Amino acid sequence: MVAALSPSRAADFMQCPLLYRFRVIDRLPEPPSSAAARGTLVHSVLERLFDVPAPERTLEHAASLVGPQWEALLAERPELAELIGDGDEATELATWLTSATALVERWFGLEDPTDLEPAERELYVECDLDGLLLRGYVDRLDVAPNGMIRVVDYKTGRSPSVLFEGKALFQMKFYALVLWRLRGVVPSMLQLVYLGNAEIVRYQPDEADLRATERKLKALWQAIVRAAETGDWRPNRSRLCDWCAHRDLCPAWGGTPPPIPEGAVARALDPAASAPVDRDVEDEDDPLEA
């Protein structure tokens, strides 16, 4: 068995151990949201934009990618078509695609793609941290001629309040730690691009930051192991419960969780027994981002 952890699953456990159980062990289905689908679509457009030479990376070209990328997404996940309203389908779809295009346009006001040459896009990274496999997807990696690294993550929601900013920075420090271990270079800049309110949040990590993140992840993993071995996946009641798809099953709200399935420990800890690593898009429109 190989222990593995991604930023989103780490965030799940820190938010609520029972949520981690519901998603990783029970694999309870969650209804897809139009916001998450829009986030995936916008990410795809911004990734594909860099397929063409710099002079061709115009807003018009980016807008022309929205429709085809949506069709490509539907080919993979046809059920997403049901998310786009229940009125006139053509009108609802046009309105929804326009909202996605507006987010892409907002990005052009924050960064100039003609001045960017990403070293990597949608980069899968993983490293071994003393027997714990850290893994995830980085939206964009910029590498300067002098070797300095900038890690960029797109968010289609609004930038968080100071109270919740740490959650987003934790994800970025996770990626920075993995890249440091892989490349031997501490990323010089972590950049969160919030398209919901056209704001960029930047953070400059150092080795002390990443060593602290490493210690936090090791302690977090030990807590996950204890929960898996004891079956003690206790809920953590918070404001985020209002948006949880599994609240009706939560004992903190009078619900009863399903029996823990066979093989629960393996599901909780082993990537070979769990779902494929996600791209951390599902939290694009965090209800507490404001």
Query: What radius of gyration, in Å, describes the C-alpha atoms of the chain?
Result: 20
Residue 205 lies in a domain: no
Helix ranges (H only) for the chain are 7-15, 17-20, 34-49, 59-76, 89-108, 165-183, 207-230, 264-269
Strands 189-194 and 199-203: antiparallel
User: CA angle at residue 280 from 276 to 284, to 5 degrees?
Assistant: 145
Residue 38 lies in a domain: yes
| pTM for the predicted model, two decimal places | 0.89
Structural domain boundaries enclosing 55? 34-112
Q: How many domains does the chain have?
A: 1
Residue 268 lies in a domain: no
Residue 239 lies in a domain: no
State both tokens at 100: 């996605």
Residue 51 lies in a domain: yes
Residue 57 lies in a domain: yes
Reduced to 3 states, what is the DSSP secondary structure of residue 200?
strand
pLDDT confidence bin for 287, thresholds 50/70/90:
very low
> 217-276 pLDDT, tens per residue?
999 999 999 999 999 999 999 989 998 999 999 999 999 999 999 999 999 987 665 555
pLDDT confidence bin for 86, thresholds 50/70/90:
low
Residue 159 lies in a domain: no
Q: Which residues of 2-28 are buried (b: 16+ CB within 10 A; e: fewer)?
A: ebbbbbbbbbbbbbbbbbbbbbbbbee
Residue 43 lies in a domain: yes
